[in-house]
Structure 1
Amino acid sequence: MTVIRPRIQALTPEQISKVHQDALKILMETGVTVDEPGARSLFDKAGASIDGERVRIPEDLLQRALDSAPSRVQIFDRTGQAAFELNGTEGQQDTVFGVGVTNLNYLDPKDSRIYPFNRRHMSLTAGLAHSLEYFDFLSTPGVIQDMAPDMADRYGLLEMMANTTKPLVMLISDWDGFIPALELCEHLFPDMCDTPFFIPYVNPITPLVLNAETTMKMDAAIGRGLPVIFSNYGMSGATCPITPAGTLVLLTAELLAGLVYSQLVREGTPVILGSLPAAFDMRQAGSFYSPHTLLLNVACAEMMAHYNIPHCGTSGSSNGWGADLLSAVTLCTNHITSCLGHAGMVPFVGGCFDSLVFSPELVVYADDVIRQSRMFTAGFSLEDDMVGFEDISTIGPGGNYLMSGLTAKYFKQSLFGSTIWPYTSLDKWHETGQTSAWQVLNQKTRDLLDHLVLPEDHKEILDKGERFLG
């Protein structure tokens, strides 16, 4: 009661109820397309209305899924140690952040040029995620471009496992590569399903299509007892209604359809739900992130908290051109609102140019923003001993607190500085060559990449994996 903890709330209880009822209306009246016959059969047996490939989901079927899905999911690192718990219970989730999302290009800090994402970039990126203190997991940061597509996903996953022990979010390009990727993980870590350290990430096709590839991936992962992230990507004005209200309701309906399917495959299976809301740029034929899309991310997290379902949102990636002011605005807004709200997992940090380019500098910058966001949301105590009545009485009007008892006790905790930029005076800045903030960030990033501290079993994992892949 005496600890101040700031929070952000986008939706009132009445608004949450309206979003739910509107999403239910879509599921019951419009329904979803389910491509794969086996998946449709599960819906049919459970009492859904089937009309060709169109499936309409009744309220009681949705409620059964909500009742059976667990509100807590324990995630481990690859050494088998508990890493973090995803808790869908309202107000109980600590936000966790992840590096990367399937970028096709890499912005090299050494020369500031953009290159096709290759295996070496995957290795560096995974090692960077391992080295940065405030990132909690790694989400497939790139799609390897210098290998045959049928092997690129597998070697990329191998590099991720070899270069970090942190939990992994696994995005596999297509169905043909999905089972081989699972088999690689099972070969390297036979007990992985007992202490899951990686989470398959699947997407429906917005609007309202449970495509065959997605349901087949869910079948395979759930059959192994793995948790699954079911996340949708919607562009307002293209794949979603152009209004924030329409986007929120449609994306919520899609997530609930995915939830129902997960529980039909195996009742009680752990599923993590969330959206990547974006808007369609009609001038550039791409997507962009705006104050409204960032607010939708907050609102989606609140809907999942209402359902007691663990949440996976988005960092918003970035429309910036690297680690620049445009990217900084998006990441700062996203990271602080995620920590202040109900966000669970926040993947995709490091993408820029509309998620086409991975920037290591942006990841290093975000690590500091995450740290500050967590400090902000941790709040402070109003207990009497923290107020310092004794010092105030002793020092009285006109004095100072430089040598007070409270200062002596807490001055170390009150110190604050950036993990990247030294706090300096104008005179010292002139004396040291007037280095720009970007130059300091660039050098910090290059130093980190040049001196990565990798897991002790790095080479062992690589060798064993390469022998398996042949």
Structure 2
Amino acid sequence: MTDQAPLRTGGRAARRAARAAPLADHLRPIRPGMSGGQYSPLSDADVLRLHTAALDALERIGLADAPPSGVAYLTAVGAVLGDDGRIRFPRALVEDTIAKANRTLTLHSRDGLHDLDLSGTRVHYGTAGAAVHMVEPDGRSYRESTVQDLHDAARICDRLDNIHFVQRPMVCRDITDNFEMDMNSVYACTAGTTKHVGVSFTDPAYVAPAIEMLQMIAGGEAAWRARPFVSNSNCFVVPPMKFATESCLVMEECIRHGMPVLLLSAGMSGATAPGSIAGAIVQAVAECLAGLVYVHAVKPGAPAIFGTWPFDLDLRTGSMTGGSGEQALLTAGCAQMHRFYDLPGGAAAGIADSKLPDMQAGWEQMCSNVMAGLSGLNMVYEAAGMHASLLGFCHESLIMGDDLIGQAMRCVRGIEVTDETMALDQMAAVCMGGPGHYLGTAETLGRMEMDNVYPALGDRTSPKEWAERGKPDLIARATQRKTAILAERSAARFDPALDMAIRARFNIHLPA
């Protein structure tokens, strides 16, 4: 409580200054990795039925199109190659893999200050996606995304307390060569933030050069393998129930080089996955269990995230809807399956179908973000900045999303019931001979920063004060903060000698 002492002495200015000072980490009202799991959309019996159905699907249906190397790995551990070319997974093999899988996983940051503990129901929010457009809210327009936009997004995320990791949220549309696009994506993200980064690769041959760059940044192969600060987002399946051949080869390469893998199954409910929420969850779970067997066949114990990412479909139009209540339930249901398996897991939430950061975007983003956190989802991907059902990314929305996620994390924290928080002694002091209110009491001042999350941009002034301040606009304030962040040099930038060495080896499109 020593951090709170200044709040109880001195004048109003001193108290305000003390409140403005950052709290010690253990006193902050919200922190990365707070435990969720309070919300369970499925009963225990439902969870068991979904698990049994997933095992049945793997045993009866299996997955098609495994690469020859994948067939060799999988059959060596007990999977069965059928005459129809499908790999089937005996129940005992799957259950044995689940039993042996890692129950804890740390996704490292480059600076060691933002490591993510994925054990239990610890919750972390971050970006993700492959948007091809940038949203320009001032002009209410869309344009193609660039490598500079990606770098700027990483730099902004580095400054946002409630964005805990940075998975590449948009594609560098200004780089047409796939190899150079992949290398520049790695560079743009890692030069923009020291938080954990997630990237994708379009060809297995591109993994080794990317690892070379990452080892240069880490300070050698041993340092990289000890603390891999970049993971691979890998769409190893093409739903329904088929392996994605090239992505599987990428996955094998990443595992060999010590890079953690996100096993990403992204079926579309009603199109590439069953139209029911339960059916879409069963298929995603089955596909990710197959991926887990694959990973452990390549290297037992290799770090992997159980990435059930089923998406919802608006069956009236055939368009994806990431902002629906059904999407929120899909993600929450998947999070509960992760809890059942006690495996590090991730899924998508926080997506807006709205084209702009408006009221529709607000309700869409908050609904699924809160439900994901309350469900105890370890990695909440695409939690901020995503619009138009993943087609557009917005820097201003990313900044406003930091406020939104702060409120979601406060919901995750929940309500602490102790003798102190029930406050009977305080009630007695205030009501019997006291001032008759709690404003300004030592207890109120002592807990106001530890218990409450205050928005950085959200406006809580009265209409009169709002008018006196010139009726500030939320998006305009987000643009101002974006401009201020990008006006400063990136704290994550590389040492000049290292940057020169990387540029000598790779064709980096960002200016030095």
Asked if Structure 1 and Structure 2 have the same fold, meaning a TM-score greater than 0.5 normalized by the shorter chain, the answer is yes
Q: Secondary structure at the match of 2:347?
A: coil
| Corresponding position of 1:113 | 141
- Residue 216 of structure 1 deviates from its aligned partner by 0.9
1:425 positional shift: 1.7
Given candidates 118, 126, 130, the residue that maps to 2:158 is 130
Determine whether 1:419 maps to 2:447: no
Task: Say if 2:46 is the partner of 1:9.
Answer: no
Q: Is the contact between residue 225 and residue 258 of structure 2 (CA under 8 Å) also seen in structure 1?
A: yes
Match of 1:342 among 376, 392, 395: 376
2:326 is aligned with 1:292: yes
What is the letter of the counterpart of residue 163 of structure 2? F
CA change 1:173–1:5 in 2 (3 A) is: closer
Choose the corresponding residue for 2:272, options 214, 239, 243: 239
1:388 maps to what in 2? 423
Q: Is the 8 A contact 2:406 2:453 kept in 1?
A: no
1:356 is aligned, of 377, 382, 391, to 391
Residues 170-181 of structure 1: matches in 2 within 5 Å?
170-181=199-210
Q: CA deviation at 1:66?
A: 0.8
Deviations 1:135-193 (A, max 9, x none): 11110122111123221111121111111111111122343433332332233322212
Q: What's the CA shift for 1:124?
A: 0.8
For 1:247, the aligned partner's letter is A
Whole-Å separation in 1 of the counterparts to 2:504 and 2:135: 31
Question: How far is the alpha carbon of 1:458 from its aligned partner?
Answer: 6.0
- The question of whether the paired residues in 2 share the 8 Å contact of 1:109 and 1:360 is answered with no
Match of 2:224 in 1: 192
Measure the CA separation in 2 of the matches of 1:40 and 1:413: 54
| 2:284 match | 251
Q: Identify the range of structure 1 (260-269 vs 188-197) with the bigger mean alpha-carbon deviation.
A: 188-197
Match of 2:193 in 1: 164
1:427 & 1:81 partners in 2: Cα distance? 42
Partners of 1:74 and 1:82 within 8 A in 2: no
Report the counterpart of residue 102 of structure 1 in structure 2. 130
Structure 1: how far apart are the matches of 2:198 and 2:321? Answer: 23
1:50 aligns with 2:81: yes
Pick aligned residue for 1:269 from 280, 302, 316: 302
How well do the aligned residues superpose, as a CA RMSD in angstroms?
A: 2.3
Residue deviations 1:54-78, cap 9 Å, x none?
A: 0111011101211221111112111
Structure 2 CA distance, aligned partners of 1:281 and 1:347?
A: 21
Match of 2:31 in 1: none
In the alignment, is residue 35 of structure 1 matched against residue 72 of structure 2? Answer: no
Report what 1:406 is aligned to: 443
Query: SS at the partner of 1:138?
Result: strand
- In 2, Cα distance between equivalents of 1:414 and 1:274: 32
Partner Cα distance (1:240, 1:409) in 2: 51
Q: C-alpha displacement at 1:79, in angstroms?
A: 3.0
What SS does the corresponding residue of 1:226 show, helix, strand or coil? coil
Does residue 253 of structure 2 align to residue 220 of structure 1?
Answer: yes
1:86 to 93, 118, 135: 118
* Aligned residue number for residue 433 of structure 1: 470
Structure 2 segments unaligned to the other structure (5+ residues): 1-34, 508-512
Q: Is the 8 Å Cα contact of residues 162 and 461 (structure 1) preserved in structure 2?
A: no
Compute the displacement of 1:287 (Å).
Answer: 1.1
Structure 1: distance between partners of 2:176 and 2:425: 71
Contact 2:203 2:247 in 1 (8 A): no
Q: Structure 2-normalised TM-score?
A: 0.85
Q: Contact 2:110–2:196 at 8 Å: present in 1 too?
A: yes
> Which amino acid in the other structure matches residue 31 of structure 1?
G
> How many angstroms does 1:367 deviate by?
0.6
CA positional deviation for 1:82? 6.1
Distance in 1 (alpha carbons) for counterparts of 2:492 and 2:309? 31
Once the two structures are TM-superposed, the CA of residue 354 in structure 1 deviates from its matched residue by 1.7
1:292-331 map, 5 Å: 292-331=326-365
Distance 1:18 1:385, change over 3 A: same
| CA offset digits 1:103-138 (Å, max 9, x no partner) | 111124564432211121122111111111111111
Q: Relative to structure 2, which stretch is displaced further, 263-272 or 75-84?
A: 75-84
Aligned mates of 1:408, 1:35 — CA distance in 2:
61
TM-score of the aligned structures, taking structure 1 as reference length = 0.92
Q: After superposition, what is the alpha-carbon deviation per residue over 1:447-468, rounded to whole angstroms, capped at 9, x for unaligned?
A: 3333464325365554332211
CA distance in 1 between counterparts of 2:451 and 2:300 reads 49
What residue identity is the alignment partner of 2:336?
E
Indicate the SS of the match to 2:105.
Answer: strand
In structure 2, what is the equivalent of residue 468 of structure 1? 505
Count of aligned pairs between the two proteins: 463
Is the 8 Å Cα contact of residues 36 and 375 (structure 2) preserved in structure 1? no
Asked if 1:69 is matched to 2:101, the reply is: yes
Greater percentage in strand: 1
Q: 1:74 to 1:412 in 2, by over 3 A?
A: closer
Counterpart CA distance in 2 for 1:279 and 1:379 is 28
The 1:40–1:314 alpha-carbon spacing in structure 2 relative to 1, beyond 3 Å, is same
Q: 1:456 to 1:249 in 2, by over 3 A?
A: closer
Cα distance in 2 between the residues matched to 1:48 and 1:232: 20
Q: Show structure 1 runs of 5+ residues with no match.
A: none
Amino acid in structure 2 at the alignment position of 1:183: E
Structure 1 position 393, deviation (Å): 2.5
- In the alignment, the residues of structure 1 paired with residue 201 and residue 213 of structure 2 have an alpha-carbon distance, to the nearest angstrom, of 13
Identify which range, 332-341 or 169-178, moves more after superposition.
169-178
Amino acid at match of 1:179: A
8 Å contact kept, 2:352–2:361? yes
What is the CA distance between 1:369 and its match in structure 2?
A: 1.3
Q: Distance in 2 between matches of 1:245 and 1:315?
A: 18
Question: Following the alignment from structure 2 to structure 1, what is the Cα–Cα distance between the partners of residues 92 and 161?
Answer: 44
Q: Describe the superposition over 1:311-362 as per-residue Cα deviations: whole angstroms up to 9, x where unpaired.
A: 0111242211121222211210122112211201112232211211111111
